[in-house]
Amino acid sequence: MTSPHSRKPDWLKVRLPQGPQWARIDRLHREQGLHSVCRSAACPNLGECWDRGTATFMILGNTCTRSCAFCNVQDGIPQPVDECEPRKVARAVATLQLKHAVITSVTRDDLSDGGAEQFAALVQALRLEAPSCRVELLIPDLLGNLEALETILNAGPDILGHNLETVPRLYAQARQGADFGRSLQLLREARQLAPHIPTKSGLMLGLGETYDEIIDVLHQLRASDVSFLTLGQYLA
């Protein structure tokens, strides 16, 4: 991995956020005490996405119980679950008049259900506050808890996502606490429990994986009946 203090190439530099839509989303997050993975993960595309009115909401706080090497979200002892959070996020989505809301979370291994009830409550709140908005969830692995997974699916999201992130060989280095087989099984079980809900996963390219390893993972995702796949570049 590149030193965090090394000079970045010019093509990686992005303009500072400044548009009115960015300011609107930023103000709404601050006023409602909401979290965005865009900001917590220090995403370089934040300005571009927020200027277009696109944002991914992050629930269950902003402190993760894991410490993945590629992720900039802080880890440590998380805050108690905010029971008002589903309603606040749903109202923010309605205020922004979003047609497609993406909801993710930090990993909460400290919760017996991994945060499943909070995800379900948020989907229900969105159906009330923004009934025309499509709801996409990006969930953690729930430590393989299938009852928790079923709780989320029963709430009826439009898309259920869980990212594999990288190939099995790199899990010990990049995803401490995670397990490739467990994540793949979660995606497989989701399709079996709710075949009408499309599933989605994502991979980062550039962590040191080989072409053949990526192709093998793609075959495994296809065999698990995953509906959508995103491929992104890891920027050290």
Q: What is the pLDDT of residue 51?
A: 58
Residue 200 lies in domain: 15-233
In this predicted structure, the answer to whether residue 233 has a pLDDT above a threshold of 50 is yes
Better-scored residue on pLDDT, 37 or 195: 195
Q: Could you tell me the two tokens for 78?
A: 């998380």
Q: Categorize the per-residue pLDDT at 21 as very low, low, confident or very high, splitting at 50, 70 and 90.
A: low
Looking at residue 138, the DSSP 8-state letter turns out to be: E
199 in a structural domain: yes
Q: What is the pLDDT of residue 154?
A: 99
One-letter amino acid of 111: L
Cβ–Cβ < 8 Å for 121, 86: yes
Average pLDDT, the chain: 86
In this predicted structure, the answer to whether residue 130 has a pLDDT above a threshold of 70 is yes
> Quick one: 81 exposed, middle or buried, by C-beta within 10 A (0-12, 13-18, 19+)?
middle
Q: Which CATH number goes with the domain that contains 37?
A: 3.20.20.70
68 in a structural domain: yes
208 in a structural domain: yes
4 in a structural domain: no
Q: Could you tell me the two tokens for 165?
A: 């992130």
pLDDT tens-digit readout, 83-122:
999 999 999 899 888 888 899 999 999 999 999 999 999 9
150 in a structural domain: yes
Number of domains in the chain: 1
Q: Provide the percentage of residues in the chain whose pLDDT is more than 70.
A: 76
